[in-house]
Amino acid sequence: MLHLRAIVPADRTDAVCEVLADCAGATNVVVIDNAARSPRGDLVTSDIARESANEVLDALRALGVDQDGSIALDKVDLTLSDRAEEAKDRAPGHGDDAVVWEELDRQVSEGTDLTWSFVAFLALATQLAGIAALIDSPVLVVGAMVLGPEFGAVAAVCYGLVRWQPRRIARAARALAVGFAAAIVITYVCALVSRWIGVIELDRLPEQRPLTAFIYSPDRWSFIVALLAGAAGVLSLTAGKSSALVGVFISVTTVPAAGNLAVALALEHGSEISGSLLQLGVNFLGMIIAGSLTLVVQRAVWKAVLRGQGRRFARGRT
């Protein structure tokens, strides 16, 4: 369940209550007259099944509540209410399958921001990956994958493509390009300094790296894994499954490829430079294709669910 908290201009409170009364997934409606001071208005709260969130948000925005008042949705960890359970049963579909588009919009918007923390995490992850390349350590590769923050920007690109928002796509692509460029340069400089002072005693990367060679050796499986990871990542965001998102981080090799690229540049290992660049491209392409298609399928499936629910209600009334 989600908890709705809305500040509603007094002249629209009755209309908002009608919207909630007509919504199958809404219950526990509370109105406190003239409770809000800035902006002024009535406080309206309700418990809403996740499946009905888009319906309610669209109706409230059509009434201008977002412009003249305020709308907030919070996740409810525990609800002990028979009415709430009945509302969940009446709502179409299942909560885990429902995409709250406004929520997803806010989530992916964060991925388009080029912040110092984004670059810092990416640089740290890339340096871990660079060390993993030098010592052939799969444990450090996994650590670098988990630490990398890039999937938020990838998800923003997917969302921008599905909703066709060129500005969002451009901002997310800029965050990825600048972030990875900065991380690679930082790791490259660190590798050069380490080589000059003797921390790195190799003239080039080891020829035999049985545990981490996949970082710079893309093949058809690299693309397949990227496709699966992109689909799983978008599903984890839309369903709120953070544990699944960690699994996505561990399955793609964008950050490890960037770390390997930086070290290969510092040690002038040409074959691994091209392989790392190709691995980066394969991973980003696969995730963007699969993530976008997943959002398209989710939107189409949910429209079909709503149509089916509408037909059932129509038969019930007759």
How confident is the model at residue 35, as a pLDDT?
92
Domain limits of the chain?
2-91, 103-302
Rounded to the nearest 5 degrees, what angle is found at the Cα of 163, between the Cα atoms of 146 and 235? Answer: 35
How confident is the model at residue 95, as a pLDDT?
64
How confident is the model at residue 61, as a pLDDT?
93
203 in Cβ contact with 260 (< 8 Å): no
DSSP string, 216-278: G---HHHHHHHHHHHHHHHHHHHHT-HHHHHHHHHH--HHHHHHHHHHHHHTT-HHHHHHHHH
How confident is the model at residue 107, as a pLDDT?
82
Q: pTM of the predicted model, to two decimals?
A: 0.81
How confident is the model at residue 209, as a pLDDT?
77
Q: What is the H or E stretch that residue 6 is in?
A: strand 2-8
Per-residue confidence in pLDDT tens, the chain, 318 aa:
899 999 999 999 999 999 999 888 899 999 999 999 989 999 999 999 888 888 899 999 999 999 999 999 998 888 888 888 888 888 777 766 677 888 888 888 877 888 999 999 999 999 999 998 888 888 888 888 888 888 889 999 999 999 999 999 999 999 999 999 999 999 999 988 888 887 776 666 666 777 788 888 888 888 998 999 889 888 888 875 555 555 555 667 889 999 999 988 888 777 788 889 999 999 999 999 999 999 999 888 877 776 665 544 434 444
Separation between Cα atoms, residue 291 and residue 235, nearest integer Å: 8
Separation between Cα atoms, residue 282 and residue 221, nearest integer Å: 10
How confident is the model at residue 246, as a pLDDT?
56
Write out pLDDT tens, residues 102-130: 888 888 887 788 899 999 999 999 999 99
How confident is the model at residue 268, as a pLDDT?
77
Separation between Cα atoms, residue 21 and residue 67, nearest integer Å: 22
How confident is the model at residue 313, as a pLDDT?
40
CATH topology of domain 2-91: Alpha-Beta Plaits (3.30.70)
